Protein backbone atom coordinates (compact mmCIF):
# COMPACT_ATOMS: atom_id res chain seq x y z
CA UNK A 1 0.00 0.00 0.00
CA UNK A 2 2.12 2.85 -1.34
CA UNK A 3 0.45 6.22 -1.45
CA UNK A 4 1.11 9.85 -0.66
CA UNK A 5 -1.51 12.45 0.11
CA UNK A 6 -1.41 16.14 -0.75
CA UNK A 7 -4.12 18.29 0.84
CA UNK A 8 -4.91 21.71 -0.59
CA UNK A 9 -6.77 24.63 0.97
CA UNK A 10 -9.42 24.59 -1.77
CA UNK A 11 -10.35 23.12 -5.14
CA UNK A 12 -8.72 25.93 -7.08
CA UNK A 13 -5.36 25.36 -5.39
CA UNK A 14 -5.69 21.61 -5.97
CA UNK A 15 -6.45 22.20 -9.66
CA UNK A 16 -3.30 24.30 -9.99
CA UNK A 17 -1.16 21.76 -8.14
CA UNK A 18 -2.44 18.70 -9.97
CA UNK A 19 -2.32 20.39 -13.38
CA UNK A 20 1.30 21.42 -12.77
CA UNK A 21 2.22 17.86 -11.71
CA UNK A 22 0.49 16.36 -14.76
CA UNK A 23 1.98 18.88 -17.22
CA UNK A 24 5.46 18.05 -15.93
CA UNK A 25 4.81 14.30 -16.16
CA UNK A 26 3.57 14.63 -19.75
CA UNK A 27 6.51 16.84 -20.77
CA UNK A 28 8.97 14.42 -19.16
CA UNK A 29 7.36 11.54 -21.08
CA UNK A 30 7.63 13.46 -24.36
CA UNK A 31 11.29 14.25 -23.65
CA UNK A 32 12.02 10.61 -22.83
CA UNK A 33 9.94 8.78 -25.44
CA UNK A 34 8.69 11.34 -27.93
CA UNK A 35 5.07 11.11 -26.91
CA UNK A 36 2.80 10.90 -23.84
CA UNK A 37 -0.52 9.38 -22.86
CA UNK A 38 -3.06 10.26 -20.20
CA UNK A 39 -6.35 8.71 -19.09
CA UNK A 40 -8.71 11.01 -17.20
CA UNK A 41 -11.86 10.31 -15.22
CA UNK A 42 -15.22 11.96 -15.68
CA UNK A 43 -17.79 13.01 -13.14
CA UNK A 44 -18.06 16.48 -11.58
CA UNK A 45 -14.80 16.72 -9.65
CA UNK A 46 -12.26 17.19 -12.47
CA UNK A 47 -13.75 20.31 -14.14
CA UNK A 48 -11.47 22.92 -12.52
CA UNK A 49 -8.42 20.67 -12.96
CA UNK A 50 -9.27 20.16 -16.63
CA UNK A 51 -9.56 23.88 -17.26
CA UNK A 52 -6.18 24.65 -15.66
CA UNK A 53 -4.53 21.73 -17.49
CA UNK A 54 -5.93 22.94 -20.82
CA UNK A 55 -3.96 26.14 -20.39
CA UNK A 56 -0.60 24.46 -19.88
CA UNK A 57 1.91 25.21 -22.64
CA UNK A 58 3.28 21.74 -23.42
CA UNK A 59 3.63 19.84 -26.71
CA UNK A 60 -0.01 18.75 -26.76
CA UNK A 61 0.33 17.55 -30.36
CA UNK A 62 2.47 14.73 -28.93
CA UNK A 63 -0.09 13.77 -26.28
CA UNK A 64 -2.87 11.19 -26.56
CA UNK A 65 -5.78 11.66 -24.19
CA UNK A 66 -8.42 9.05 -23.38
CA UNK A 67 -10.89 8.31 -20.61
CA UNK A 68 -10.51 5.99 -17.63
CA UNK A 69 -14.12 5.06 -18.16
CA UNK A 70 -17.21 6.12 -20.06
CA UNK A 71 -20.91 5.74 -19.95
CA UNK A 72 -22.28 3.82 -22.98
CA UNK A 73 -23.81 6.97 -24.46
CA UNK A 74 -22.80 9.14 -27.46
CA UNK A 75 -20.73 12.29 -27.00
CA UNK A 76 -23.78 14.56 -27.32
CA UNK A 77 -25.42 12.95 -24.27
CA UNK A 78 -25.33 14.95 -21.03
CA UNK A 79 -23.97 11.88 -19.23
CA UNK A 80 -21.02 11.48 -21.58
CA UNK A 81 -17.49 11.85 -20.20
CA UNK A 82 -16.37 12.59 -23.76
CA UNK A 83 -18.74 15.57 -23.69
CA UNK A 84 -17.23 16.65 -20.36
CA UNK A 85 -13.73 16.44 -21.85
CA UNK A 86 -14.83 18.39 -24.94
CA UNK A 87 -16.24 21.18 -22.78
CA UNK A 88 -13.55 21.47 -20.10
CA UNK A 89 -10.32 19.83 -21.28
CA UNK A 90 -10.07 19.65 -25.07
CA UNK A 91 -10.11 23.44 -25.32
CA UNK A 92 -7.35 26.03 -25.70
CA UNK A 93 -3.89 24.53 -26.15
CA UNK A 94 -5.08 21.01 -25.30
CA UNK A 95 -7.23 20.96 -28.44
CA UNK A 96 -4.01 20.02 -30.28
CA UNK A 97 -3.89 16.68 -28.45
CA UNK A 98 -5.25 13.45 -29.92
CA UNK A 99 -8.39 12.33 -28.09
CA UNK A 100 -9.39 8.67 -28.28
CA UNK A 101 -12.94 7.99 -27.06
CA UNK A 102 -14.15 4.79 -25.47
CA UNK A 103 -17.74 5.00 -26.72
CA UNK A 104 -18.48 3.68 -30.19
CA UNK A 105 -21.88 3.48 -31.86
CA UNK A 106 -21.79 -0.31 -31.84
CA UNK A 107 -24.81 -2.56 -31.34
CA UNK A 108 -23.69 -3.52 -27.84
CA UNK A 109 -21.42 -2.16 -25.11
CA UNK A 110 -19.36 -5.33 -25.49
CA UNK A 111 -18.74 -4.60 -29.16
CA UNK A 112 -17.77 -1.01 -28.29
CA UNK A 113 -15.38 -2.31 -25.61
CA UNK A 114 -13.65 -4.53 -28.17
CA UNK A 115 -13.19 -1.58 -30.53
CA UNK A 116 -11.93 0.65 -27.70
CA UNK A 117 -9.47 -2.02 -26.56
CA UNK A 118 -7.99 -2.17 -30.05
CA UNK A 119 -7.90 1.61 -30.45
CA UNK A 120 -6.19 2.25 -27.09
CA UNK A 121 -3.72 -0.65 -27.06
CA UNK A 122 -0.94 1.39 -28.67
CA UNK A 123 -0.63 4.04 -25.94
CA UNK A 124 -1.81 2.47 -22.69
CA UNK A 125 1.00 0.09 -21.85
CA UNK A 126 1.61 1.77 -19.49
CA UNK A 127 -0.10 5.13 -19.36
CA UNK A 128 2.16 8.02 -18.52
CA UNK A 129 -0.64 9.52 -16.43
CA UNK A 130 -3.92 8.12 -15.09
CA UNK A 131 -6.23 10.34 -13.06
CA UNK A 132 -8.78 8.45 -10.97
CA UNK A 133 -11.81 9.74 -9.13
CA UNK A 134 -13.81 8.01 -6.42
CA UNK A 135 -17.49 7.75 -5.69
CA UNK A 136 -18.98 7.82 -2.20
CA UNK A 137 -19.64 4.10 -2.57
CA UNK A 138 -15.90 3.50 -2.92
CA UNK A 139 -15.91 2.91 -6.67
CA UNK A 140 -13.20 4.19 -8.97
CA UNK A 141 -13.18 4.08 -12.75
CA UNK A 142 -16.29 1.99 -13.33
CA UNK A 143 -15.31 -0.57 -10.71
CA UNK A 144 -18.62 -0.42 -8.90
CA UNK A 145 -19.56 -2.54 -5.88
CA UNK A 146 -21.78 -5.33 -7.21
CA UNK A 147 -20.60 -4.73 -10.78
CA UNK A 148 -21.31 -7.67 -13.10
CA UNK A 149 -17.67 -7.81 -14.28
CA UNK A 150 -15.98 -6.50 -11.12
CA UNK A 151 -13.88 -9.61 -10.41
CA UNK A 152 -12.51 -9.62 -13.97
CA UNK A 153 -11.96 -5.85 -13.90
CA UNK A 154 -9.84 -6.02 -10.73
CA UNK A 155 -7.79 -9.05 -11.83
CA UNK A 156 -4.22 -7.76 -12.27
CA UNK A 157 -3.38 -10.78 -14.45
CA UNK A 158 -6.12 -9.92 -16.95
CA UNK A 159 -4.91 -8.53 -20.28
CA UNK A 160 -5.06 -4.73 -20.43
CA UNK A 161 -8.12 -3.32 -22.12
CA UNK A 162 -11.64 -2.05 -21.89
CA UNK A 163 -14.46 -4.06 -20.40
CA UNK A 164 -18.10 -3.40 -19.79
CA UNK A 165 -19.62 -2.94 -16.37
CA UNK A 166 -23.19 -2.87 -15.17
CA UNK A 167 -24.14 -2.15 -11.59
CA UNK A 168 -26.99 -0.58 -9.61
CA UNK A 169 -25.01 2.59 -8.92
CA UNK A 170 -23.62 2.99 -12.43
CA UNK A 171 -26.62 4.18 -14.43
CA UNK A 172 -26.04 3.21 -18.06
CA UNK A 173 -23.78 0.31 -18.97
CA UNK A 174 -20.18 1.45 -18.56
CA UNK A 175 -16.98 1.05 -20.56
CA UNK A 176 -13.93 0.97 -18.29
CA UNK A 177 -10.23 0.33 -18.49
CA UNK A 178 -9.25 -2.68 -16.45
CA UNK A 179 -7.26 -2.40 -13.23
CA UNK A 180 -4.40 -4.11 -15.11
CA UNK A 181 -4.32 -1.20 -17.58
CA UNK A 182 -4.38 1.56 -14.96
CA UNK A 183 -2.40 0.36 -11.94
CA UNK A 184 1.08 0.81 -13.40
CA UNK A 185 0.64 4.30 -14.83
CA UNK A 186 3.87 6.21 -14.40
CA UNK A 187 1.84 8.86 -12.57
CA UNK A 188 -1.20 7.35 -10.83
CA UNK A 189 -3.26 10.05 -9.12
CA UNK A 190 -6.51 9.90 -7.16
CA UNK A 191 -8.38 13.22 -7.22
CA UNK A 192 -11.10 13.59 -4.59
CA UNK A 193 -12.71 16.60 -2.98
CA UNK A 194 -14.97 17.22 0.00
CA UNK A 195 -15.36 15.97 3.57
CA UNK A 196 -17.52 12.99 2.62
CA UNK A 197 -14.94 11.61 0.21
CA UNK A 198 -12.23 12.11 2.81
CA UNK A 199 -14.18 9.87 5.17
CA UNK A 200 -14.85 7.36 2.39
CA UNK A 201 -11.09 7.27 1.76
CA UNK A 202 -10.40 6.67 5.45
CA UNK A 203 -12.90 3.79 5.46
CA UNK A 204 -11.28 2.36 2.34
CA UNK A 205 -7.81 2.56 3.91
CA UNK A 206 -9.14 0.78 6.97
CA UNK A 207 -10.12 -2.39 5.17
CA UNK A 208 -9.19 -4.92 2.46
CA UNK A 209 -12.53 -6.10 1.03
CA UNK A 210 -12.30 -4.90 -2.57
CA UNK A 211 -15.78 -6.10 -3.47
CA UNK A 212 -17.13 -3.75 -0.81
CA UNK A 213 -14.91 -0.81 -1.86
CA UNK A 214 -13.17 -1.38 -5.20
CA UNK A 215 -10.93 1.67 -4.68
CA UNK A 216 -9.04 -0.63 -2.30
CA UNK A 217 -7.62 -2.51 -5.27
CA UNK A 218 -5.85 0.70 -6.32
CA UNK A 219 -4.81 1.73 -2.82
CA UNK A 220 -3.56 -1.75 -1.81
CA UNK A 221 -2.35 -3.39 -5.04
CA UNK A 222 -1.34 -0.76 -7.59
CA UNK A 223 2.21 -1.27 -8.82
CA UNK A 224 2.71 2.49 -8.96
CA UNK A 225 2.54 4.62 -5.82
CA UNK A 226 -0.80 6.42 -5.66
CA UNK A 227 -0.69 10.21 -5.30
CA UNK A 228 -3.87 11.31 -3.53
CA UNK A 229 -4.98 14.90 -4.13
CA UNK A 230 -7.61 16.23 -1.74
CA UNK A 231 -9.27 19.55 -1.03
CA UNK A 232 -12.24 20.41 1.23
Ligand X SMILES: O=C(O)[C@H](O)[C@@H](O)[C@H](O)[C@H](O)COP(=O)(O)O
Interacting residues with ligand X between 19 and 58 (CB under 6 A): 41-45
Tell me which of 141, 163, 167, 185 binds ligand X, using CB under 6 A: 141
| Among 181, 190, 79, 180, residue whose Cα is nearest residue 127 | 181
Closer CB to ligand X, 30 or 132, in the complex: 132
| Closest distance to ligand X from the beta carbon of 200 (Å) | 10
Tell me which of 18, 23, 39, 68 binds ligand X, using CB under 6 A: 68
Tell me which of 15, 36, 69, 165 binds ligand X, using CB under 6 A: 69
Tell me which of 37, 81, 117, 120 binds ligand X, using CB under 6 A: 81
| Closest distance to ligand X from the beta carbon of 116 (Å) | 14
Residues in contact with ligand X by CB under 6 A are 41-45, 68-69, 81, 133-135, 140-141
Amino acid sequence: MAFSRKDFENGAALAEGLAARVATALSDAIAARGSASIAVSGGSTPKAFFKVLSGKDIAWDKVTITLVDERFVPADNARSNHKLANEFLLIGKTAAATFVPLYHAADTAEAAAEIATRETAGFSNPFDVAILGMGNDGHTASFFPGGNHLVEALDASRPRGILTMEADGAGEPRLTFSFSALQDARLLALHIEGAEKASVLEKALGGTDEAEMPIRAVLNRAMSPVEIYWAP
